[in-house]
Amino acid sequence: MKKNRYNNYNHRNAPNNGYGGQNRAFKGNDRKATLNSAGINADQYLSMRIDKEFIPDGAEVVIQVRDKETGEVRYVPFNQAMDDCFGKNSQFYRQEMSDGHIFNPYIHRRWLPAQFRRNIREAGYNGIHEYVKRSYTWNYVVRFLKQECWKLAMLQRRDPAAFRERSAFFTLHDMQRILAQYADIIMGELDRVVDEYDKYNHRLPRQNTQTVMLYPRGIGPIQKGHIRPMRYRYERFRVAVVNTCSYSQLSDLLQDFKFDKADRSIPSSDLFAKCFIESGAFYTMKQMIMFEGLSLGGMDVKENLDKLLERGRFGYMSLYRSLRA
C-alpha cells in the first residue's frame, strides 16, 4: 500500500487477506455459500431483504408462500410469523416458570393484577379511588397514557380482538379528556402565579420583572419571562390533542411533546383513576379465571371469559368486590 497525496494510505488495491480491505465473501448475495463453506447448513433458512423506502407508513408486510406441488397460495402476515415464533411455538408456552408465573405472551397487562391487589390491600374497596388519585401523580398518568396509546395503536393494526378488549377501558375520548385536563391544570397554575405577582408588582417596569422566579404549585420555579411561551405551548398541545382522530395520531403527538413534571401537590384525574381501577379489576379477574379456577357460572374457561366480557366497562370493580365478599 502506498500513501496518497494527503499522506493517507490508499486501501483501493489492498489484498483481501482477511485482515485488510473488504470482506468480499459477504459482498452481494453470497452469504448462504459462505455459511455452508463454514460448516453451517443454511439450506433451511429463507433470506430476504426489503428496502424500507418501498414500505409506506402504516403498511403491514405480508409473506406469500406458494406450494410447488398443489399451487396453493398462503399469505402469512410478517407480524403473525414473529408472533408464532415467540408465542405458541416457543418451548416455554404455557409452562410454569421457576418464579411460579405461566409463560403466555398473549395475556396483555400481566402486571396489573399485582398492582390492583396491592392498592386494594393498602386502601380498601371504599378508599381505592382517592388512593389512586393521591399515589399516582400526573407524571405517572402522562407516562402511562403515552405507553398505553402506543400499544393500542399497535394492537389496532395487528390484533383486532385484543384491541377491542383493551381499548374498552381507555378510549380515545377518555385519553383526550385526561390530557386536556392536564393541560388546563398547567395553564391554570401559570395564570395564577402571574396574576398574583402582577397584583402586587404592577408598578414595576416590565423589562425588570422577566427574570423574576415564580413558583407555580406542583411545577417548580420558572422565570416570569418563560411562562408565556410555556402557556402557549400547552394551549397548542390541548388543541392538537382534542383534534386527533386515532390512537396512532395521539401516540405520535405524545411522543414528540415535552411534558413538565408535576409533583403530588396537584391531584391526578378522576377519570384516569376510574378507568385505571376498572381495568385492574378486569385483568385481575381474567387471571383468576385462567389460572386460579375462578368461575362465573360457565362450564369452562372460555365460557367464563365470555361472561366476563359481557359486563359493562365500568362494572368490573363492583363484580370483583361481590366475588371477594
Do 239 and 93 sit in the same domain of this protein?
no
What mean pLDDT is predicted for residues 211-235?
85
Chain-centroid distance of CA 109 in Å reads 11
Do 272 and 309 sit in the same domain of this protein?
yes
Do 245 and 200 sit in the same domain of this protein?
yes
pLDDT of residue 149: 94
Domain count, the chain: 3
Boundary (domain end) residue, out of 29, 47, 65: 47
Total Cβ atoms within 10 A of residue 50: 9
Pick the closest to residue 283 from 311, 258, 243, 262 (CA basis): 311
Percent of the chain scored above 90 by pLDDT?
Answer: 27
Boundary (domain end) residue, out of 65, 80, 106: 106
Q: How confident is the model at residue 203 (pLDDT cuts 50, 70, 90)?
A: low
Q: Is the pTM of this model over 0.95?
A: no
Q: How confident is the model at residue 214 (pLDDT cuts 50, 70, 90)?
A: confident
Do 92 and 138 sit in the same domain of this protein?
no
pLDDT of residue 182: 94
Do 102 and 117 sit in the same domain of this protein?
no
Checking if the pLDDT of 81 tops 50, the result is no
What rounded mean pLDDT belongs to the chain?
76
Report the distance separating Cα 241 and Cα 179, nearest Å. 7
Contact 294, 288 (CB under 8 A): yes
What mean pLDDT is predicted for residues 311-322?
85
Do 16 and 148 sit in the same domain of this protein?
no
Do 161 and 282 sit in the same domain of this protein?
yes
**What are the phi and psi torsion angles at 18 (to 5°)?**
90, -10
Do 3 and 79 sit in the same domain of this protein?
no
Do 72 and 117 sit in the same domain of this protein?
no
Q: Could you report the per-residue pLDDT of 264-304, keeping only the tens digit for each?
A: 888 889 999 999 999 999 988 888 887 788 888 877 888 88
Q: How confident is the model at residue 146 (pLDDT cuts 50, 70, 90)?
A: very high
Do 235 and 201 sit in the same domain of this protein?
yes
Do 101 and 124 sit in the same domain of this protein?
no
Report the distance separating Cα 29 and Cα 68, nearest Å. 24
Do 94 and 170 sit in the same domain of this protein?
no
Q: Reduced to 3 DSSP states, what percent helix, strand and coil does the chain have, rounded to the nearest 5? A: 55, 5, 40
Checking if the pLDDT of 219 tops 80, the result is yes
- In which domain, by residue range, is 231 found? 113-324
Q: Could you report the per-residue pLDDT of 225-254, keeping only the tens digit for each?
A: 888 899 999 999 999 999 999 999 999 999
Q: Could you report the per-residue pLDDT of 96-109, keeping only the tens digit for each?
A: 555 455 545 555 45
Q: CA geometry: angle at 103 spanning 299 and 122, to 5°?
A: 80
